[in-house]
C-alpha cells in the first residue's frame, strides 16, 4: 500500500491475523478525527482531572496496526489518532515462528498529535527496528515496548518532543531485549517497570524543568543491562534526578520493594554508585542550534515540527561524544559519533511521504 491518502477515518490499516506477512505500507498520509487543537489523554490521574477537557473520545484508534512477520512501515505521515503505529498486543506469541511479530521495520515516519503513543512494539517478538521516526505531541507515551517477548527490539535515531507524562519510552509489562541508540528525547524517562537485557547508548535526554520529576530512570529486572555515552539535562530544583534499580548478580527482581530503588542528585553520584555512564555527560539546550523545551505547565499545548530544530551546534559537548556502534553509526563525521538522532554534517532524514511537499502535512 503506497502513496495513498486516508482522511476522516477511525482506523487505517489493521490486521490481527498471525498469518499476515510482508506488508509494505509506505509513503501514505493518515489523518484521523481526534482533537486538532489540544493534546488530550485518555486515562489515569494526569488526565482524569484535566479541567474542561477530561479524557478524549476514541474517534480514531490506530493509523496502522499489524501482526505477523516481515512488515515494513515507512515514510508515513500520521496525525489525530489515539495511537500512530503499533504491533498488536497479541498475548503469548504463537508457537510457529512464521506467525510471530518478528522482522518488522518501522522507519522515517512523521507523527503529530497522538492521544496515547507514537509507536507501539507491544507484542513484538524478535528483530523489530524502530528507526529515524519523528514524534511531536503524544499524551501518554512515546516509543513503547509493552511488552516485548525476547527481542531484540531496536529504537534508533528517533526524535520525541512533548510527551507530558514523562514516559518517553514505555518499557512496561516486563519486556526483554531492548536496544536504545542515538535518540533525541526532549522530555523525561520515568517509567519504573523492570525490563531485562536493556541497553542505552548515544542518546540525549533533556528535561523540561517539570516540577518534582527527575530526568532518567533505569529499571532492570536482571543483571543483564548497560548504559553509557548518553547525555542528560537534569530538571531544575529536583534532588532525585537519576533513579536506579539493579538487582544483584543472579537475582530476578520483578517486584521490587521501595528500598531496592536508589536515587541520585547528579550524574557523578550515579556513576560512582552503579559503574554505569562512565562516559555520560550533562548538557543543556544551548547544545542545539535553536531549540527550547515544551512548557511543562501546558500539557494540552500543540507544537509543530516546522518550528523545531533538533540539530546540534558544531561546538556542542554532545558532538563527538558517542561511541562507535558497528552498522548503526558507521558514517559518523569527526572524531566519534555525536549524541542524539542527528549527526552534525550529515543530512537530516526525510520524515513522512517522499511525495509530500508540505512541511506540515496536517495543515
250 in any annotated domain: yes
Cell of 48: 482524569
Digit-coded pLDDT (tens) for 164-184 = 999 999 999 999 999 999 999
Give the neighbor-by-neighbor strand order of the sheet with 110-114. Answer: 5-7, 29-31, 77-81, 110-114, 134-138, 159-161, 184-186, 204-206, 231-233, 281-282
350 in any annotated domain: no
- Cβ distance 115 to 81 under 8 Å? yes
Domain region containing 212: 5-307
Give the neighbor-by-neighbor strand order of the sheet with 216-219. Answer: 216-219, 242-245, 262-264
* Number of domains the chain contains: 1
342 in any annotated domain: no
Digit-coded pLDDT (tens) for 123-146 = 999 999 999 999 999 999 999 999
331 in any annotated domain: no
- Cβ distance 114 to 161 under 8 Å? no
238 in any annotated domain: yes
349 in any annotated domain: no
Digit-coded pLDDT (tens) for 253-292 = 667 888 999 999 999 999 999 999 999 999 999 999 999 9
For the cut 60, the answer to whether the pLDDT of residue 159 exceeds it is yes
Cell of 171: 518499557
Q: Which of 107-111, 296-300, 309-313, 335-339 has the lowest mean pLDDT?
A: 296-300
Stated as kind and residue range, the H or E segment containing 271 is helix 267-274
Confidence (pTM): 0.96
CA proximity to 8, closest of 23, 26, 29 = 29
202 in any annotated domain: yes
Strand partners, 25: 73
316 in any annotated domain: no
Amino acid at each position: 500500500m503506497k502513496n495513498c491518502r486516508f482522511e476522516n477515518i477511525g482506523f487505517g490499516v489493521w490486521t490481527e491475523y498471525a498469518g499476515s506477512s510482508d506488508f509494505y505500507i509506505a509513503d501514505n498520509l493518515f489523518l484521523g478525527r481526534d482533537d486538532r487543537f489540544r493534546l488530550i489523554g485518555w486515562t489515569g490521574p494526569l488526565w482524569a482531572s484535566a479541567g474542561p477537557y477530561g479524557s478524549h473520545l476514541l474517534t480514531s484508534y490506530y493509523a496502522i496496526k499489524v501482526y505477523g512477520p516481515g512488515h515494513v512501515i515507512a515514510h508515513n505521515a500520521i496525525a489525530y489518532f489515539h495511537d500512530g503505529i503499533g504491533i498488536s498486543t497479541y498475548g503469548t506469541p504463537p508457537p510457529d515462528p512464521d506467525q510471530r511479530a518478528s522482522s518488522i521495520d518501522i522507519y522515517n515516519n512523521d507523527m503529530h498529535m497522538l492521544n496515547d503513543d507514537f509507536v507501539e512494539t507491544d507484542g513484538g517478538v524478535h528483530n523489530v527496528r524502530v528507526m529515524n521516526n519523528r514524534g511531536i505531541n503524544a499524551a501518554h507515551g512515546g516509543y513503547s515496548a509493552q511488552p516485548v517477548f525476547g527481542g531484540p527490539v531496536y529504537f534508533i535515531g528517533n526524535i520525541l518532543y512533548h510527551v507530558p507524562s514523562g514516559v518517553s519510552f514505555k518499557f512496561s509489562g516486563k519486556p526483554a531485549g531492548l536496544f536504545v541508540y542515538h535518540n533525541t528525547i526532549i522530555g523525561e524517562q520515568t517509567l519504573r517497570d523492570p525490563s531485562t537485557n536493556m541497553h542505552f547508548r548515544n542518546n540525549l535526554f533533556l528535561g523540561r524543568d517539570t516540577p518534582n520529576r527527575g530526568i532518567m530512570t533505569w529499571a532492570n529486572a536482571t543483571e543483564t543491562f548497560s548504559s553509557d555515552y548518553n547525555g542528560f539535562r537534569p530538571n531544575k530544583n529536583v534532588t532525585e534526578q537519576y533513579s536506579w534499580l539493579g538487582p544483584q548478580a543472579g537475582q530476578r527482581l520483578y517486584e521490587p520493594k521501595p528500598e531496592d530503588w536508589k536515587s541520585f542528585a547528579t550524574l557523578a553520584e550515579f556513576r560512582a554508585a552503579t559503574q554505569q555512564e562512565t562516559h555520560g555527560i550533562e548538557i543543556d539546550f544551548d547544545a542545539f542550534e535553536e531549540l527550547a523545551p515544551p512548557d511543562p505547565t501546558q500539557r494540552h499545548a500543540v507544537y509543530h515540527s516546522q518550528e523545531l530544530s533538533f540539530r546540534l551546534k558544531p561546538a556542542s559537548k554532545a558532538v563527538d561524544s558517542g561511541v562507535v556502534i558497528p552498522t548503526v553509526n558507521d558514517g559518523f563525521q569527526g572524531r566519534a559519533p555525536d549524541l542524539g538522532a542527528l549527526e552534525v554534517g550529515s543530512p537530516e532524514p526525510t520524515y513522512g511521504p517522499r511525495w509530500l511537499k508540505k512541511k506540515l502535512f496536517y495543515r
